[in-house]
Structure 1
Amino acid sequence: MTLGSGDKNKIVPVSAGNRIDYMDLLRGLAIFFILIANLRWFCLFTPGFNGYFVFPEMDHLVHKLQHLFIEGKFYSIFSILFGWGIALQLKKSKKDDATTAKFIRRRLSFMLLLGGIHLFLIWEGDIVFLYGLVGFVLIALRNLSNRSLLITGALLLLSPIVLYFIKMNFSWFNWPSEYLTMAGEKFYQLNGWIDQDTSRTQVLKESKSIFTNIAITLGDAPYRFAYLFFVSRIPKVLGAMVIGFVIGRSEFYSKVLKHRKKTLWVSIIGLMVFVPLNYMLITYFEDSSAYYALQVKGLYYTIVYAFSVFPLALVYMLIIALLYENSVIQKLLKPVCAVGRTAFSNYIMHSVVGIIVFYGIGLGFMQQLGPLAWTIFAVILFSLQILVSNIWLRYFKFGPVEWIWRSLTYKKLQLLAV
């Protein structure tokens, strides 16, 4: 959402016609590939188990391709878009910087509220709550020059290398992750779910109580943040947001389209460099035990990750920008923009569908799908979301969650019907 002019005392949303379709397309595509990545956790897939829709040889190949082309790239794009969107809000607002920043902080506060409901009551894999927290830091950095922001963003994206090295040599530096893990373990012990990887799974498979599901989700939240701290996700997300903020403020997108040949060559070279680096990442570091044991091989993994995953995400953005300039491709991809415009609602819907399909409280298909099957499932679900989102936007201005978010932000019910 961007901001437009309102009356003297109010900040009001810009009409849908002024949105950047390219951003909505990226957001929609990111939602799809994040769904594929998240389904691995809804399915609680473990290599070697036998389910109804597990095909070992094909699953191994598909899982490897998912790691190569999807893992980490699309949450990076989503983070870039988040920073880009905030830059547009500040740029388009007719109000002074302090007033607009105050408005954005209020918007982030309600984002935290909605993300917290998702994180603590629906599914622990939520990313919205983290985005809301990190967004406050981004707002604090907004008045730095583009050059300073680019340097800051690059340092943040590379910081996991230094942070991992420090954790290898000073165990106390990993205290936040260890403390949160202990908090999660205590919660599980109180409920009799001592082994997170087996007992928890068994409870989710067999439980028919929504309150049990909520209890497990509450217990999983500390584990979630322990993981985010351990893998240095927070500086990665902030770094990507800062880069996105510069892209939005400098109008880099329009500049890219003015130099299509250069952009094409940069994209080709980027693919030639960063796809092999990502292949190295998944091939030579397939066993993650060294990483979590803070061994030297884990440091090598962190270095390769820093120089391969985010750069490939940027290359994806350039390629999509070039493709979307073609009228035929634009016509084919245009329906995906509707998913991007209702991204928050569609993201929450993934969790609701995941629980209904895979947990015991619903159809109980947990551990029955391998990577090939859950990819097909994702394609079917996303196709339905494209259809429903386009129909919805014929009659309504916003997705249902977006409408709640806007109404809270503007302190009054927003007109929903078109």
Structure 2
Amino acid sequence: MMSSSLSVLGKDRIVTIDIIRGFALFGIFLVNMPAFHSSEFLSMLYGVEHAHTGADYWLDFFFTLFIDMKFFTIFSFLFGLGFYIFMNRAEEKGLKMKRLFTRRMVALLVIGLLHLILLWFGDILHTYAITGFLLLFFYNRKIKTMIIWAISLLVVFNLFLSLSLILPESILDEINQESILIYEEKIDEYVETYESAGFAEWVSYRFQTEVIPVLSNLIGNMIPILAMFLFGLAAGKAGIFKPNTIHHGFIRKFQIIIGVVSIPLLVFLALAKFKMLATGFKSIIYIELFTSLTGVTLCFFYISTLTLLLRKQQWQKRLRPLSYVGQMALTNYLLQTFICMALFVLGGLYNNISLLTGTIICIVIFGLQILVSYYWLKTYQFGPFEWLWRSVTYGKLQAIKKVSTVKNKVSK
């Protein structure tokens, strides 16, 4: 009998991973939503904090503690795990796995760059694609080597984030004041371009203002992503997510340890948000640092908790809707941009939406994505963009309809 951890879509599909991926995609959408409907990019670029009030203040506080950077890291971990599964299955079938994976990453890079340049500055696909090539150097390495590299990369990244803290507060505040002045010079033009520019003018403006800064920060952004890729690769090689895995005891112990480690980090992050560790620009640095650290610890806490929950049939049933979105993660990720750009930029709502309203809209859109994904997957094996990506990877058009669907039509 087929294990309950496997999907109907091919005997090798692991539903636990699809559910965790769907969960991560929801968290990423929650984090991305303010950047879709407001001028978040300039705020992030120049280190300017939004002065949220009322319900938005507490929602922002909750997001900082439990959402920001926590789901992006889960997604990165799953990419590394997916790399192992892809390479391992290609190897078992005797295919040229490195060539296939290279083609897969080139296709993802093209999709990501088009997404970045033509639609939205927050694209992560181009960074994943470029970083993904580095995984080829680690596939045959020992698990211990992967983990050492991953931890070292995170240490380097967070030390780099901390460097600014050794500077005197007066110098940091002076730098911050200069950044705020630049921000204030640019914000009106930025919002006006989003509200009224034609498509060609909008893309041209965005290329200078958003795309070039994003690409110039590429190497720095790749460091924590590669670290999480390596953790995912190590988990795949260790067989952590295999059906009937023997590692449940380890996962439970790890969940408790990482949960305990997360508590003081969350306390420090809360203190930083309340400006009790420092004021001025230093408080922003503390928030970035502890958001980064909790992004890793809570990522692992969420993954281990979900993995343990999904051992139980009732939790598999409750969380199964997330697997439909997770199975079509690429399509749904891109659809979130299409829908939000149409709603906020073309719909004239840009910079007129509160954090709370944006969050409610996000939940509604994601609920619709679950519904659409469910009905789509009743007939088709892949989402439209997954099918395109797969077809380019293997160099030929893939069958998109489910075999059972095709057989039913023939029999009729």
Name the TM-score class by shorter chain: 0.7 to 0.9
Contact (CA 8 Å) 2:52, 2:60: kept in 1 or not? no
User: Which digits, 9 at most, give the CA deviation of each residue in 1:144-194, with x for residues without a partner?
Assistant: 211111100111111113334667899xxxxxxxxxxxxxx9xxxxxxx99
For residue 197 of structure 1, report the CA deviation from its aligned partner.
2.7
One of 124, 130, 133 as aligned partner of 1:133: 130
2:205 matched to which residue of 1? 216
Question: What's the counterpart of residue 341 of structure 1?
Answer: 327
Tell me if 1:414 matches 2:401. no
Measure the CA separation in 1 of the matches of 2:22 and 2:279. Answer: 32
Q: Give the equivalent residue in structure 2 for 1:394.
A: 378
Q: 2:222 corresponds to which residue?
A: 234
Q: Corresponding residue for 2:215?
A: 225
Which residue number corresponds to residue 101 of structure 2? Answer: 104
SS at match of 2:241: helix
The TM-score, its normalising length taken from structure 2, stands at 0.81
Partners in 1 of 2:369 and 2:243 — Cα distance? 32
- The percentage of counterpart residues that share the same residue type is 26
Q: Give the direction of change, closer, same or farther, for the CA distance of 1:216–1:282 in structure 2 (3 Å limit).
A: farther
Q: Secondary structure at the match of 1:284?
A: helix
Distance 1:216 1:392, change over 3 A: farther
Match of 1:41 in 2: 35
5+ long unaligned stretches in structure 1: 1-13, 47-53, 171-184, 186-192
2-structure distance, mates of 1:409, 1:237: 22
Q: Contact conserved, 1:28 with 1:343, CA < 8 A, in 2?
A: yes
Distance 1:363 1:303 in 2: 36
Taking the TM superposition and a 5 Å limit, the aligned residue runs for 1:14-413 are: 16-44=10-38, 56-94=53-91, 99-164=96-161, 195-207=185-197, 209-219=198-208, 220-227=210-217, 232-254=220-242, 258=246, 260=248, 263-264=251-252, 266-285=254-273, 304-359=290-345, 362-413=346-397
1:115-170: CA deviation from partner (whole Å, max 9, x where unpaired): 11111111111000000000001112222211111100111111113334667899
Normalising by structure 1, report the TM-score: 0.79
Contact 1:108-1:132 at 8 Å conserved across structures: yes
Distance 2:331 2:279 in 1: 35
Counterpart of 2:265, as a letter, is: L
Cross-structure match for 2:177: none
How far did residue 98 of structure 1 move? 9.0
Change (3 A) 1:80 1:226: same
Q: 1:84 to 1:259 in 2, by over 3 A?
A: closer
**How far did residue 279 of structure 1 move?**
3.9
| Residue 3 (structure 2) aligns with | none
